[in-house]
Amino acid sequence: MPETLPSVVDLFDVERLHLTEAEEPPLSPSDEAARDRVWEKAVQANPALFDGPVVACAGLQHTDPHVLRLSWVRVTYRHYALRRVPGATALASLFVNVVQPTDDGRVLTARMSSSTAAPGRWQLPGGSVEPPQDGEGLEELDLAGQAARELSEELGLDASAEALRLWAVTRGENGSVGLTYLAPALPESAVRAAFAAAAAAERTQGREPELDAIALVRSPQELAGLSGPHADYLEPIVRRFTGGR
């Protein structure tokens, strides 16, 4: 049997991802109805929720020391309401995020704005993986491209997919799987200027930016000083990048 990955995996010795599409597991009529009730109640509480298409992770394993096999499924955000249905099983969510370092060795972390699904949470820039068009597969470069797009949309920083390197994999709350990419280091001034410009552009369009603050940290201790909730993967990622300083 292939080994099950621990919570944080070093991927420096993995040469490639093996991505395989799978079918969404069938639901009983009762679970489907319960899922829809949970989802509609959540939307009433937060009208910003959107039942858009996303990719879920159905399995994550090493097939040999150099290949990571990831089984993915097309779902919508509504699927994750199954987590609150007794006896039902939801697939793990799949997301990409980016470690954006500064040239003095710090790591950027960002706070979600009040209008998002996780208001006030500190995390890395990133987002849920979006599915390819029907009939198309999901490729490694697609994932890096989505990570690059999140970096551009949220922070105003331009990086090509080729410039990002898959650096770690995390498995956290509810089995959520994160593919963490490492971006080239930048000066602090460039990072802050790009974020300010991106946020201003969003407000000019009458939209609240998805991120309302950024912080640069050089240790888990500095990270702990940021008030508010933190994404569960954030401390292990910062600790790994900074060597636990």
Amino acid, single-letter form, for residue 14: V
pTM exceeding 0.85: yes
- CA-to-CA separations, 202 to 1, 46, 197, 210, in angstroms, rounded: 49, 21, 9, 9
- How do residues 11-24 score in pLDDT, each as one tens digit? 334 567 889 999 99
Phi-psi region of 197 (alpha: psi -120 to 50; beta: other; left: phi over 0): alpha
Closest by CA to 57, choosing from 98, 16, 25, 97, is 25
Q: Can you give the pLDDT of all 245 residues of the chain as single tens digits?
A: 334 444 443 333 456 788 999 999 999 999 999 999 999 999 998 888 889 999 999 998 877 776 788 999 999 999 999 999 999 999 999 999 999 999 999 999 999 998 787 889 999 999 999 999 888 889 989 999 999 999 999 999 999 999 998 888 888 877 889 999 999 999 999 999 999 999 999 899 888 888 999 999 999 999 999 999 999 899 989 998 988 55
Domains belonging to the chain, first-starting first, are: 8-242 (3.90.79.10)
Place of tokens 């994999």: 169
In whole angstroms, give the CA distance from residue 39 to residue 33: 10
- How do residues 121-150 score in pLDDT, each as one tens digit? 999 999 999 999 888 889 989 999 999 999
